[in-house]
């Protein structure tokens, strides 16, 4: 049985969430909180497996509550909010940085409410398996301050590597922030990324990542040319592919392995278009998306990297890639940027 704590200042919303969650026999509600202060206290006392968290509440809001919970009693948190991804992007970025593992948006339409209910049950069950880590409060030390690796001299790149492709899911935004914040400004390869994220939030994610990196981070557009020093994120509901002419292709259609965009679809296209002239990185995430694609890249001679278990929020996608023999290197999060920089500089032997 999965124990769930519901946090929302609205009695009506708490009642609705209770009805939704109790409709699944695997879930039980162990408590309800009306504000962030109650949420922190109940989390310490009840030790739930998962928390559903509203953001806009009196006394202590959801963001502050998440920060206190992740600092004092780390617990998987699914944010259930009426905030709008475009209008409230800055707030939702802070939520991601603070350690919430998933965001679901409330809907006023009947069809939308049904979809939210399905997503909520699914995500609460998935998040109960997530291993979260303690994060210091903001007045202590910034959890994701970028620490730049010294940039190699201009012109030092060998030109052997032409593209860096990254795939991530649960826990990925924070991992991407760290990696992109450490890559040098004169990295002479383009970067393409598939990150599983709630619909409507990719633009806010791109803005947040751009603010913490020396590279330019944006959402990919169909037909866009790949450029050195530019990071392109897959948009909502489209697979991101690359071709041998150095252009992006966005593809609508069916989910692959349950995902659109799919990491494997990206990696497969990189394997076909770039072969050994690419680097593939698979980061924290639930499931196995990207494992087969990373294996395709390795089979073509690409350098492939998986995040190690100790630094993953969820060791699902990297574990599957490692099990397939798809990863040439297994690297902790704080060393991945250094490894990537070394590979692109043809100095892999200098990195332990």
> With bands split at pLDDT 50, 70 and 90, how would you rate the model's confidence at 292?
very high
Coil, helix or strand at residue 253: coil
Confidence band of 98 (pLDDT split at 50, 70, 90)? low
301 — pLDDT class (breaks 50, 70, 90): very high
How far is residue 9's CA from residue 228's CA, in Å, rounded to a whole number? 47
Model confidence band, residue 271 (pLDDT cutoffs 50, 70, 90): very high
Average pLDDT of the segment spanning 113-142: 71
Confidence band of 205 (pLDDT split at 50, 70, 90): confident
Choosing from 8, 9, 196, 262, the catalytic residue is: 196
Read off the pLDDT of residues 254-267 as tens digits, 9 standing for 90 and up: 999 999 999 999 99
> Which of 128, 168, 169, 262 does the annotation list as catalytic?
169
Residue 94 has a pLDDT of 72
pLDDT of residue 180: 95
pTM: predicted TM-score of the whole model, two decimal places: 0.73
Q: Where in the chain is the domain with CATH 3.40.50.2300?
A: 2-127
Q: Ranked by mean pLDDT, which of 79-93, 104-118, 204-218 comes out on top?
A: 204-218
Distance CA(61)–CA(43), nearest Å, equals 15
How much is the pLDDT for 45?
Answer: 96
- DSSP assignment of 161-214: --EEEEEE-TTHHHHHHHHHHHS-TT--S-EEEEE---TT-HHHHHHHHHHT-S
Active site residue 236: no
Locate 87 and state its tokens: 């209008």
For 325-345, what is the mean pLDDT? 93
Residue 154 has pLDDT above 70, yes or no: no
Distance CA 352, CA 145 (A): 24
Of 296 and 102, more confident:
296
Q: Would you say domain 2-127 falls under CATH 3.40.50.2300? A: yes
Q: What are the backbone dihedrals phi and psi of residue 138, each rounded to the nearest 5 degrees, phi first?
A: -60, -30
Q: What is the CB neighbour count within 10 angstroms for residue 338?
A: 17
- Decide if 248 contacts 241 (C-beta within 8 A): yes
pLDDT at 157: 36
H or E stretch covering 108: none
CB burial of residue 257 (10 Å; 0-12, 13-18, 19+): middle
Higher pLDDT, 87 or 31: 31
Is 289 catalytic? The answer is: yes
What rounded mean pLDDT belongs to the chain?
Answer: 85
Maximum separation of any 2 CA atoms in the chain, in Å: 62
Q: Write out the residue limits of the CATH 3.40.50.180 domain(s) in the chain.
A: 163-350
The residue to which tokens 């866009």 are assigned: 224
Q: Residue 52: its pLDDT value, please? A: 95
| pLDDT at residue 212 greater than cutoff 90 | no
CATH topology of domain 163-350: Rossmann fold (3.40.50)
Report residue 62 as tokens. 């959801």
Of the residues 289, 308, 311, 329, only one is catalytic, namely: 289
pLDDT above 90 for 319: yes
pLDDT exceeds cutoff 70 at 240:
yes
| pLDDT higher at 146 or 204 | 204
Mean pLDDT of 208-234: 94
Give percent of the chain above pLDDT 90: 59
Average pLDDT score over residue span 127-155: 52
Q: Which helix (H) or strand (E) holds 300?
A: none
Least confident of 72-86, 142-156, 301-315: 142-156
Q: How far apart are CA 194 and CA 166, in angstroms?
A: 6
Q: What is the pLDDT of residue 161?
A: 93
Tell me how far apart the alpha carbons of residues 24 and 21 are, in angstroms, rounded to a whole number: 6
CB 82 within 8 A of CB 106: yes
The pLDDT, as a whole number, for residue 325 is: 94
The pLDDT score that the predictor gives to residue 159 is 47
What local confidence, expressed as pLDDT, does residue 112 receive?
53
**Cβ 19 vs Cβ 11: under 8 Å:** no
Over residues 242-260, mean pLDDT:
94
Q: Are 43 and 6 in contact (CB under 8 A)?
A: no
Please state, in angstroms and as integers, the Cα–Cα distance from residue 43 to each residue in 33, 77, 185, following that order. Answer: 10, 11, 42
Kindly list the strands in the beta sheet with 191-195, ordered across the sheet, starting from the edge strand earlier in the chain. 216-219, 230-233, 191-195, 163-168, 278-282, 303-307, 329-331
Query: Which pLDDT does position 208 carry in this prediction?
Result: 84
Burial 269-291 (b: 16+ CB within 10 A, else e): bbbebbeebbbbbbbbbbbbbbb
Report helix, strand or coil for 279: strand
In this model, does residue 349 exceed pLDDT 50? no
As to burial, measured by CB atoms within 10 angstroms (0-12 exposed, 13-18 middle, 19+ buried), residue 335 is buried
* 169 is an active site residue: yes
């Amino acid at each position: 049985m999965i124990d769930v704590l519901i946090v929302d200042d609205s009695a009506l919303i708490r009642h609705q969430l209770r009805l939704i969650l109790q409709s699944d026999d695997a879930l039980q509600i162990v408590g309800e909180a009306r504000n962030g202060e109650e949420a922190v206290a109940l989390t310490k006392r009840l030790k739930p497996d998962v928390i559903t968290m509203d953001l806009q509440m009196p006394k202590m809001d959801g963001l502050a509550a998440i920060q206190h919970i992740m600092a004092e009693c780390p617990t998987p948190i699914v944010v259930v909010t009426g905030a709008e991804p475009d209008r409230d992007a800055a707030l939702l970025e802070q939520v991601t940085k603070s350690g919430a593992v998933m965001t679901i948006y409330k809907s006023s339409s009947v069809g939308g409410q049904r979809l939210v209910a399905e997503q909520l049950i699914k995500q609460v069950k998935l998040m109960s398996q997530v291993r979260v880590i303690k994060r210091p409060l903001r007045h202590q030390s910034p959890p994701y301050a970028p620490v730049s690796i010294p940039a190699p001299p201009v012109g030092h790149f060998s030109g052997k590597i032409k593209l860096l492709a990254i795939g991530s899911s649960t826990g990925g935004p924070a991992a991407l922030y760290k990696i992109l914040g450490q890559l040098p400004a004169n990295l002479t390869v383009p970067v393409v990324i598939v990150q599983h994220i709630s619909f409507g939030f990719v633009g806010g994610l791109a803005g947040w990542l751009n603010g913490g990196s020396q590279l330019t981070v944006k959402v990919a557009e169909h037909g866009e040319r790949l450029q050195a020093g530019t990071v392109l994120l897959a948009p909502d509901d489209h697979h991101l592919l690359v071709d041998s002419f150095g252009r992006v292709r966005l593809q609508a259609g069916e989910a692959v392995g349950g995902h659109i965009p799919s990491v494997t679809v990206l990696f497969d296209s990189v394997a076909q278009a770039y072969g050994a002239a690419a680097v593939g990185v698979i980061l924290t995430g639930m499931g196995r998306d990207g494992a087969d694609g990373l294996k395709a890249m390795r089979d073509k001679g690409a350098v492939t990297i998986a995040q190690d278990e100790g630094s993953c929020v969820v060791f699902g996608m990297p574990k599957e890639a490692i099990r397939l023999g798809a990863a040439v290197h297994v690297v902790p999060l704080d060393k991945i940027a250094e490894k990537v920089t070394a590979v692109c500089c043809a100095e892999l032997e200098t990195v332990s």
